[in-house]
Amino acid sequence: MPMVEVAGKSFEVDEEGYLTNLADWTREIGEYLAKDEKVELTDSHWEVINFLREYYEEYQIAPAVRVLTKAVAKKLGPDKGNNKYLYELFPYGPAKQACKIAGLPKPTGCI
């Protein structure tokens, strides 16, 4: 598996650049992965990323898109609680791109 180096330490990622070990994740790694994805992280991005990690810790899976949009509405305001806004933040698709930056495994299936 390929390795990436962030702040002097190296970490394993899979073929698509997803972090192999969830526990390796740090804010710096999140920033590195975002740069790789050409996503410029703002506070709104971090709200999503933090929520993803909290949810994953509790349920061992990324939240469903509906669960995520509701959480975003609560934190960033009702006008932002929709799929369209999430795509603005993460253009390659909130489920996959946001998970990648948050260090979560890639969701699989018919999605």
Partner 1 sequence: MAGPEFEVPALSEYTEVPKIKEGATAHLKSFLAAETSQSYLGYPHQLPADWKERALDRMGQVLEKYRSVRVFMDACVHCGACTDKCHYFLGTADPNNMPVARQELMRKVYRRYFTLPGKIAPWLVGAEDLTEDTLNKWYNYYHQCSECRRCSVYCPYGIDTAEITMAGREILNYVGVGQKYSSEILVKVQKIGNNLGLPGPALEDTLLGLEEDIEADTGVPVKMPLDVEGAEILLVTPSADFFSEPHVESLIGYAKVFHAAGASWTLSSKASEAGNFGLFNGNYETMRNIAMRIRDAALELGVKRIIVGECGHAWRVAYAFWNTLTGIGYGGDDPFSVELQNQLDPRYPQPMHICEYTWDLIEKGVLKFDKSLNDDRVITFHDSCNVARASRMGTEPGGQFTIPRNIIRAVANNFQDMAAETIGESTFCCGGGGGLLTDDLIEVRVKGALPRMNAYNNVVQGQGVNFLALICAICKAQFTKVLPYYGFDRNMVGGVHQLVGTAIKLD
Is residue 99 annotated as part of the catalytic site, yes or no? no
Contact flag: residue 15 with partner 1 (CB under 8 A): yes
Contact flag: residue 46 with partner 1 (CB under 8 A): no
Contact flag: residue 21 with partner 1 (CB under 8 A): no
Contact flag: residue 40 with partner 1 (CB under 8 A): no
Contact flag: residue 102 with partner 1 (CB under 8 A): no
Residue with tokens 């934190």: 75
Interface with partner 1 (CB under 8 A), residue from 41, 52, 97, 103:
97
As a three-state string, the secondary structure of 4-16 is EEECCEEEEECCC
Q: Which long-range contacts (CB under 8 A, 24 or more apart) does 13-19 make?
A: 14/106, 16/100, 16/106, 17/100, 18/99, 18/100, 18/104, 18/105, 18/106, 19/100, 19/103
Q: Which of 1, 3, 23, 110 is catalytic?
A: 110
Q: Which residues bind partner 1 (CB under 8 A)?
A: 15-17, 36-38, 59-61, 63-67, 70, 83-84, 87, 92-93, 95-97, 100, 107-111
